Structure 1
């Protein structure tokens, strides 16, 4: 049995196209809106016989009658000859119709990228995409209701004696997995290259240039789609958390959840003002605020068709790692749309702190499963970093 799914609240939504996804095949197709693609049989309908008192009944060969609605009194027939796409306004008797101009351009029709890029599609019953546990971090990725996983992650850990440096990232792709795949493979290297060639007090600038270079390199490939990103750089006991998009970082400070990033969405007032200053507009569609009526995030890697308004420049927050900073959660919005910051910390903390055998991987699984049980259709990626290992 197959199932057609229209994803209306995904980051990229093109109203003129609907993705039809078969749960047991690896192909995605665009449903045609052509009149030839739909047919309706009326042979099963039983027509009512025309009243005998009506002298002007329909032709005997046609059992159906069509009654045309009369135009409202006082309006000439010319008022109804205008194109339906141009509404008319009539003021006073005998006034000429006034054509109302469109205030905003039409929503952008974004080409749909292949959904099976990167990770091959797995059977619908196999919800586990990947899990990994290494020194100081655990990550668990759970595929959503799409045919292929679009989330990616990266991790780089370097230990030289007492010196510990690490860089982690979670990437949430949209319009395909190409941008997330590219960011996972290149962003860490670009950030580290920028960090190594700058002074220590320029780390935030180095991270920004790493993001911008990754974005430029991806755009030069002329690939479609985009990706939200969140990264955590640990260097010399300092934590630099950056994001572009709605992936989020939350730190547990002695049991209290503190968000270290702020989601970049068009509904944010400063993001809305920035977009409108560049000539774009922000509108609500199907209950979600979107750029040009289509894109639901305002920063990220890629998004060629929206690059005038969507920047890859991240926001960065820095803090000194102290004993009270117990662990850090990096996750895609598949988690945060269904689980609050404090709830995530409350679930993960008993499994990570105060036990002889910490189970951070189990914490990651529990968080992803909780979001899925609450109806999340999106891919869910959860990374938990034990900050005590890097002090």
Structure 2
């Protein structure tokens, strides 16, 4: 598919700066589609392994909105955290991504409209939403012994998602190398927590939801922190391998309130401290007491029924069900000589947009059998 790159003299995506954002594989590079920089009146917001086969690239959406509306809907049941009347602590202001992007040049940042990657065994399509600059990121790292994939959805800016895309896979890989196969879940957990701790030292705002998939020795290890989701097709049946971390989840709400926080209903969404609509992720220093980076992890053996895996940001899952996604992808990826993974990614993103998604949407499809020896 032909592609266009931003102008060589772009202050953001000049050739000298592209590697800091997109680390290319030896076989192909992500293709970027762009439009001219926005006018002042427009609305916009803002380690791979050393093996030559290693590949890593990144991309990402503002999610949280601070609101004074605290009325809770009726009929939601009761529980330890559902006190109807109580004194609320002061809300914490979470910085919203700026409407412009400051650079060391009078020229505004080029807007990346879409990112396209079509590799052997996996493909990615990321599409910028209508809320501002692209803030989704992804990573893919493949070597002779394992493959590690990730999708990252930022909020309050792109810094956390970009940091996670650059560092999480390395942190996990380092810990896998030092531990046995039986310690894989602990290695993934430590990798997430280390990435979070390192990002907090950067002293920048924002956060990111993460979902990762490790293919190693015939096993699939899927982890998430936030509401990016992993869904697998098992013989044509959609199987969610992760559970979204939202404040309204009974266990998440209980954890938050036991730590002195509160969960509020603002503009149709449950939020922590009236601000953030996810309860786990990388970053979010202002809410770090309640927004933890510890992932939930599931390990399963890959068998012939495990056809393909989809990792995607909530820009997809808010508009497309798990089974719908499998039904769209399967005819293009299963039982044919040349699987059309990229076409399947794009069809899912286009469907989400046609149903009114305003968010950045990133979809990665992985052909599981390709990475099992």
What TM-score comes out, normalization by structure 1 length? 0.73
Q: Structure 2: which 5+ runs fail to align?
A: 1-38, 46-60, 69-84
Which residue, out of 260, 268, 287, partners 1:287? 268
Conserved 8 A contact 2:67-2:267: no
In the alignment, structure 1 residue 365 sits paired with structure 2 residue 346? yes
Conserved 8 A contact 1:142-1:381: yes
In the alignment, structure 1 residue 11 sits paired with structure 2 residue 63? yes
- CA distance in 2 between counterparts of 1:268 and 1:117 reads 35
Which residues in structure 2 correspond to 1:1-391 (within 5 Å)?
A: 2=41, 11-15=63-67, 103-114=87-98, 121-122=109-110, 128-159=113-144, 164-391=145-372
Deviations 1:243-297 (A, max 9, x none): 0000000000010000000000001000000000000000100000000000000
Shift of 1:10: 5.3
- CA distance in 1 between counterparts of 2:317 and 2:101 reads 25
Higher normalized contact order (CA 8 Å, seq sep 6+, divided by chain length): 2
2:7 aligns with: none
Deviations 1:55-79 (A, max 9, x none): xxxxxxxxxxxxxxxxxxxxxxxxx
Q: Structure 1: which 5+ runs fail to align?
A: 17-100
SS in 2 for 1:172: strand
- CA distance in 1 between counterparts of 2:348 and 2:224 reads 21
What is the number of residues matched between the two proteins? 298
Conserved 8 A contact 2:94-2:286: yes
- CA distance in 2 between counterparts of 1:194 and 1:150 reads 28
**CA spacing shift, 1:115–1:243, aligned 2, 3 Å:** farther
Q: What is the CA RMSD across the aligned residues, in angstroms?
A: 2.2
Shift of 1:14: 2.3
SS in 1 for 2:286: helix
Larger Rg: 1
Conserved 8 A contact 1:329-1:383: yes
SS in 2 for 1:293: coil
- CA distance in 2 between counterparts of 1:168 and 1:121 reads 28
The 4+ residue runs of structure 1 with deviation greater than 4 A are 1-6, 115-123
**CA spacing shift, 1:184–1:115, aligned 2, 3 Å:** farther
What TM-score comes out, normalization by structure 2 length? 0.76
